[in-house]
């Protein structure tokens, strides 16, 4: 932590800061510039974290030097990337994984038709919501337990591992029965109770970035899960809130290489919710894969016009194979292993 | 709902849209402009909500006309404002209420000293956190049940009603024993499970605006509480996330008159978290009160330098009376009843 | 400047940074923490400014310590505030000034009627646009030279000093003939050619904050004017761009006390453009004045419904006296000299 | 234009709106919903533009239906895309063009070395700044006329067309002597004087999106150029301002397909300024090309560590060929003609 003093800070104010730094067990190191003083506080992360001098007399500002997360940081694994293996599918490092399926589980037929389409096209996992967070209390909130049962059926029939969202801890046991990966929605990114309990469950988690969460806050949220001993966290960029009214959210693809630099955790991208429109999902998926994302999570429906929710952003199941082929080609350009997709598709030519 | 067609939309595409509108039980009304067509969908809010044509063939965009919230809207009470009476203190309409106290409850002495200071200066309620949401899993998370017990003591000794935060539903019963108003933090604004259960509890709720929540989303979150039959919701502006790095959050005071126009619910402002610095709390409190806010919720500590969390933004208890006097004067300029504060302070002088 | 090294930085990378720092004539000071190194660069502002190591090998990030502006900074005047005196009207420090008038000059009658109304109500200056920046090339762009002539007439008749905008340097001489204060619009805040030439003209300037300009960028833009020897710069907050769709811009009132802390320059607020709606102008003006703004610049029209541009945000000239009285009362609460307004209005009651 | 009335609007207020609509020569069309009325105003774009009822009595809001730009819109060319041919290089439609070169022209050697490197690797144009807009008045502002002379030399020696920025209209004639494409910087996107004069010059223009400009505002700025009869405008996405502090700007790649849908103009992406760091330029360039951008404009330097400005974001000239090869491969995945790059590089295999 560097503590930048105001140019007008008095000798006493500097002394008071040094005292405070030393009172938490850290060492103070004064850098005396021509126009102002900076005090470096050196010590353990825990000690440093207890120095709260923002706004104290004579203090201009605090500049944190150490990252506030530890288990999520690249250094924690000495630069080696986490590669998850979920029911035989690899994600992270050189491995690219497509996660696809309906926004919400509607019926057995809808789910199975989609599951077969995406599985045949080389998707690594099946996504589908049984519990749906909705802005409006009057909207459809998912089939609940019935949805979970249908997901279990789809898993059995296709062998695809399941990604599904948990919103309410009271549903945790039910979700654990079917989910290979538990999805945490953007609005719950800082629901610390949920993060902690999913951490304790030990089940892999897909953690969506909040609508206005900084990358540091996303990694701190991951840290809540990791610190419970669960080291299988997938980070997910899904669009952030900006001033631009032309689309629902602004997909932030710079987050992909930057998160991969800051953290060892795999990073996937959700183009469906950011775009909100089918015709944008293609270009954004190609862009995400070319940027080096470790995977894409995308919405697919056999008949989007009849979908209960978010139909306009769903890819059409019949067209998914062609889409997947192009995305895999982009992932290859982005540096992922080409061989893995060649068994299911011929990416370039 | 108005459905704006693209200039290139075909006759069939227009027909398909009309069909979809009618299929949910609404009436379609075509406005034929010189360059494009607009289709108005007329009917019940519930029917209209089921028309999801964003991105459908030929559709340029959907323009919602009706507000998606109902119980929270001004129309629901025909323009009459909600005035809450909490343990004899009024909030809303002509009534301005100061809610003050420590960020987090630390000790009996800290809490009582603060409670007496703010009560004597005319504060209407005492705030204090027993459970604290923290970005870092390594930070102090509050005294928990012990904190609630201290709040109960302070209530008994000073008669001030208590505002305290609930984060985890498993603590609901404990919190209900002491809280006159349950605070819902900004990060939980869209924690729908929490909203619903607090709605069911019937206890007044203070709902903080999420860091990047639109006013419409805030009102939709309030709707989750209201629809359970709990009509005592206080909206709270506490700063939004913008590009400006010079302060923690950007306090959005335009939200005050606009929320008061859109909704009958009272609107309070939290200047402490937005500013993050004591010296800004004064000007922002005056501004909020002059803008017509129904109250201020502010952090106060007997000795901020020794505070466990957020000390730099806490007002000093000894200086609170002077602060409160100026804020009440600003509230009077903003249109609130002057007489109420004159018993405790002489606003203008 | 502090240069934070990555935890993985090698000894050579640290050496290279030290070498670079010393190569520009600055001193390097190494702070050796337990997990990483920070290198302080100490020297003249000009030397430091030439160290560009962001992204260099081993460098995590650069943390600027000195503010990049100098003439605009509070330290430059040792904490004394700039008080401008424009045709006898004071602005800054303890002095609050209302600047009012039509968005655009339309006719002799419209302008004079407004000028008399605002002058009688205690406004310190008359605003009015002869050249209007418009998002659309097809919109009305002002009366030009004819507008300037009408402003000159209004000045002669009422004695009010004139604030008017300059967009195109080719109009500089014409504008200098009538303007007591030259307004620089938000879209031109970083039009460096314009800033420099207005600086050279020596005429007081009212500089509007860009739609997404940080406070530091606003002060750097002021620095362009100040460095030409023109020390009469008024900063103007007029709303920033955020994600919130409910209003045109989000008025950032935290900017008022923070700019007053960072700089000695006066700070005024434009509530009209931020709100875009007459009914919000009142509450926002009160809030700005209570926050301690040195002035308000606001749009007024004798008959807003017939205004050529921005009518819906204009105050009605007939109602201006009542508005001004309340705003002056709020300014008094915000700490401005009360006596000044008592001659024109009885602020409290 | 649709005018949405408030639920509380009176019959007189509705009548007043209809009158106003008809007074500008448009037709009013009332849609009578169960809870409120919407009035459609039908007529010429110019008539409609003069209806300014936002905030009028009884009016809830105005919903524009027609796009405010015309020459820039897709409809203006019936869906055909503009393909520019600049000194034999094609840009737009199926044609992808790499524009590369130093941030600022520093010396003959620096410029020519870079020009040869990028030309050999298949770049279509050479970029280089002679006039540099800088946030600080104390920073280096470019070599000026000497820089233009060096650009002319480089053009003669390599045959590459030149892209260079104009900031001050007084330099227009000088810039016209060497520039094949005139660049308009992000901070000047709404400098209407500059836009108009560049429009009149007839020279192709590369228009950068402002830091917080909406796509609609970018297209309106293009409209200023187009309406002067200059139809050679290249739109450029270069990162927008968001709350995220981890990078300088947030590159908005959703803008690429959306601009291509709204407009016939080519869209290029500048990854250098958004990222501010060399290691991010690669992934972002691949992403932009895969998203379907019509080109990339990127900074290259023979020895970035010695660059006068923005060295850390410049690609190293020696590594440019390898970079270009990957970007061309990504462009092919994004749908551009493969054959064009095969002469200079073997993109996939």
Can you tell me the distance from the alpha carbon of A240 to that of C237, in angstroms, rounded to the nearest whole number?
26
Which of A2, A4, A241 is opposite residue C38, by nearest beta carbon?
A2
Q: What is the dihedral of CA C319, C320, C326, C330, to 10 degrees?
A: 150
Task: Please tell me which residue of chain D has the smallest CA distance to C241.
Answer: D212
Q: Look at residue A348 and tell me whether its pLDDT is greater than 50.
A: no
Can you tell me the distance from the alpha carbon of B68 to that of B65, in angstroms, rounded to the nearest whole number?
9
Under a CB-based contact definition with an 8 Å cutoff, are residues C324 and C121 in contact?
A: yes
D185: its two tokens:
């910087």
Angle formed by the axes of helices C108-120 and C145-158, nearest 10°: 40
Can you tell me the distance from the alpha carbon of C98 to that of C100, in angstroms, rounded to the nearest whole number?
6
Residue B43 near chain D (CB below 8 Å): yes
A223, B134: Cβ pair inside 8 Å?
no
Which residues of chain A are within 8 Å of residue C242 when distances are taken between CB atoms? 243
Please name which of B54, B66, B65 lies closest in space to residue B2, comparing C-alpha atoms. B65
**Residue A269 confidence (pLDDT):** 98
Q: What is the mean pLDDT of chain A?
A: 91
C297: its two tokens:
């610049």
Helix, strand or coil for residue C50? coil
**Residue D251 confidence (pLDDT):** 98
Which residues of chain B are within 8 Å of residue C245 when distances are taken between CB atoms? 214
Burial C251-281 (b: 16+ CB within 10 A, else e): bbbbbbbbbbebbbbbbbbbbbbbbbbbebb
∠ CA C135-C123-C214 to the nearest 5 degrees? 45
Ranked by mean pLDDT, the top range of A53-62, D230-239, D274-283 is: D230-239
Which residues of chain D are within 8 Å of residue B40 when distances are taken between CB atoms? 31, 33, 38
Residue C46 near chain A (CB below 8 Å): no
Q: Which chains touch A (3 or more CB pairs under 8 A)?
A: B, C, D
Please name which of B178, B187, B227, B183 lies closest in space to residue B207, comparing C-alpha atoms. B183
pLDDT in tens, B77-105: 888 999 999 999 999 999 999 999 999 99
C32, HSE (Cβ side, Cα atoms, 13 Å):
2
B242: its two tokens:
């913008």
Residue B227 near chain A (CB below 8 Å): yes
B2, D7: Cβ pair inside 8 Å?
no
Pairing of strands D89-91, B181-184: unpaired
D31, B29: Cβ pair inside 8 Å?
yes
Interface probe, candidates D138, D171, D218, D284, chain C, greatest C C-beta count within 10 A:
D138
Burial B99-129 (b: 16+ CB within 10 A, else e): bbbbbbbbeeebbbbbbbbbbebbbbbbbbb
Interface of A with D in 300-339 (CB under 8 A): 326, 329-330, 333-334
Mean pLDDT for A265-289 is 95
Widest pairwise Cα distance in chain B: 75
Distance from D138 to chain B by nearest Cα, in Å? 22
∠ CA C53-C54-C56 to the nearest 5 degrees? 60
∠ CA B249-B252-B255 to the nearest 5 degrees? 145
Which residues of chain D are within 8 Å of residue C134 when distances are taken between CB atoms? 192
Q: Look at residue C344 and tell me whether its pLDDT is greater than 60.
A: no
Burial C151-164 (b: 16+ CB within 10 A, else e): beebbeebebbbbb
**Residue D34 confidence (pLDDT):** 67
C149 dihedral zone (left: phi>0; alpha: psi -120 to 50; beta) = alpha
Residue A344 near chain D (CB below 8 Å): no
Q: CA C201 → CA B142, C70, C209, distances in Å?
A: 59, 21, 21
CA A268 centroid distance within chain: 7
pLDDT in tens, A144-200: 999 999 999 999 999 999 999 999 999 999 999 999 999 999 999 999 999 999 999
Distance from A339 to chain D by nearest Cα, in Å? 14
Give me the percent of chain B exceeding a pLDDT of 70.
96
Give me the percent of chain A exceeding a pLDDT of 90.
69
Q: What is the mean pLDDT of chain D?
A: 91
For CA atoms B187, B191, B197, B203, give the dihedral sign: positive
Which of C215, C283, C329 is opposite residue B246, by nearest beta carbon?
C215
Interface probe, candidates B212, B270, B274, B290, chain C, greatest C C-beta count within 10 A:
B290
Task: Please tell me which residue of chain A has the smallest CA distance to C35.
Answer: A66
Strand partners, A5: A59
C240, B257: Cβ pair inside 8 Å?
no
pLDDT in tens, B48-60: 777 778 777 888 8
Can you tell me the distance from the alpha carbon of B25 to that of B44, in angstroms, rounded to the nearest whole number?
8
Cβ count within 10 A of residue D196: 18
B276, A54: Cβ pair inside 8 Å?
yes
Interface of C with D in 187-216 (CB under 8 A): 187-188, 190-193, 196, 210-212
Under a CB-based contact definition with an 8 Å cutoff, are residues C122 and C328 in contact?
A: yes
Q: Look at residue A9 and tell me whether its pLDDT is greater than 50.
A: yes
Widest pairwise Cα distance in chain D: 75
Residue C67 near chain B (CB below 8 Å): no
Give A1's DSSP letter. -
Helix, strand or coil for residue D13? helix
For CA atoms B78, B84, B88, B93, give the dihedral sign: negative
Residue B129 phi, psi (nearest 5): -100, 130
A250-259, C192-201, D128-137: which range is least confident on average? D128-137
Query: In chain C, at which residue ranges do the beta strands (DSSP E only) sit?
Result: 2-5, 27-32, 37-42, 59-63, 84-86, 89-91, 97-101, 125-127, 162-165, 181-184, 205-208, 233-237, 267-269, 295-301, 315-316
Interface probe, candidates A7, A21, A38, chain C, greatest C C-beta count within 10 A:
A38
Q: Look at residue B180 and tell me whether its pLDDT is greater than 60.
A: yes
Can you tell me the distance from the alpha carbon of A172 to that of A39, in angstroms, rounded to the nearest whole number?
47
pLDDT in tens, C252-305: 999 999 999 999 999 999 999 998 889 999 999 999 999 999 999 999 999 987
Distance from C213 to chain B by nearest Cα, in Å? 8
Residue D135 near chain C (CB below 8 Å): yes
B329: its two tokens:
């004067």
C171: its two tokens:
């109009």
Q: CA A13 → CA A7, A19, A43, B162, D103, distances in Å?
A: 11, 10, 21, 37, 44
Please name which of B208, B212, B167 lies closest in space to residue A210, comparing C-alpha atoms. B212
Mean pLDDT for C69-95 is 94
Interface of B with A in 165-184 (CB under 8 A): 167-170
Q: Look at residue A45 and tell me whether its pLDDT is greater than 90.
A: no
pLDDT confidence bin for A302, thresholds 50/70/90: very high
Give the contacts of B318 (CB within 8 A, at least 6 positions apart).
B117, B302
Q: Look at residue D219 and tell me whether its pLDDT is greater than 50.
A: yes
Q: Which chains touch B (3 or more CB pairs under 8 A)?
A: A, C, D
Q: In which element (H, E) is residue D295 found? A: strand D295-301
Cβ count within 10 A of residue A168: 18
Radius of gyration of chain D (CA): 23
Under a CB-based contact definition with an 8 Å cutoff, are residues D302 and D110 in contact?
A: yes
Q: Look at residue C339 and tell me whether its pLDDT is greater than 70.
A: no
Which residues of chain C are within 8 Å of residue B275 when distances are taken between CB atoms? 254
Under a CB-based contact definition with an 8 Å cutoff, are residues D112 and D154 in contact?
A: yes
B59-68, C161-170, D293-302: which range is least confident on average? B59-68
């Amino acid at each position: 932590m560097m503590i930048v003093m105001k140019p007008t800070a008095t000798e006493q104010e500097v002394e008071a800061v040094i005292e405070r730094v030393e009172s938490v067990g850290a060492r103070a190191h004064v850098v005396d510039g021509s126009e102002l003083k900076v005090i470096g506080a050196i010590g353990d992360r825990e000690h440093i974290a207890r120095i709260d001098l923002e706004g104290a007399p004579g203090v201009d500002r605090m500049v944190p030097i150490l990252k506030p997360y530890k288990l999520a940081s690249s250094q924690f694994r000495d630069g080696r990337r986490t590669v998850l293996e979920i029911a035989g599918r690899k994600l992270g490092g050189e491995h690219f994984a497509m996660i696809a399926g309906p926004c919400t589980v509607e019926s057995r037929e809808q789910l199975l038709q989609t599951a077969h389409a995406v599985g045949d096209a080389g998707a690594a996992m099946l996504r589908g919501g049984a519990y749906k967070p909705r802005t409006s209390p009057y909207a459809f909130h998912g089939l609940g337990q019935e949805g979970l049962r249908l997901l279990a059926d789809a898993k059995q029939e296709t062998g695809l591992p399941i990604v599904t969202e948990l919103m309410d801890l009271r549903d945790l046991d039910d979700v654990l029965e079917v989910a290979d990966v538990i999805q945490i929605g953007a609005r719950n990114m800082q629901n610390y109770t949920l993060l902690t309990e999913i951490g304790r469950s030990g089940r892999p988690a897909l953690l969506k970035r909040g609508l206005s969460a900084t990358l540091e806050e996303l990694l701190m949220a991951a840290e809540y899960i990791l610190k419970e001993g669960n080291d299988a966290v997938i980070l997910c960029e899904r669009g952030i809130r900006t001033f631009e009214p032309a689309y629902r959210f602004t997909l932030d693809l710079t987050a992909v290489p930057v998160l991969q630099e800051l953290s060892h955790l795999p990073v996937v991208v959700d183009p469906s919710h950011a775009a909100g429109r089918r015709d944008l999902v293609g270009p954004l998926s190609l862009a995400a894969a070319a940027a080096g994302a470790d995977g894409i999570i995308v919405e697919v429906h056999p008949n989007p016009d009849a979908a209960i929710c978010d139909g306009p952003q769903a890819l059409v199941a019949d067209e998914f194979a062609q889409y997947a082929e192009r995305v895999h080609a982009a992932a290859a350009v982005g540096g992922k292993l080409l061989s893995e997709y060649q068994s299911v598709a011929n990416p370039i030519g």
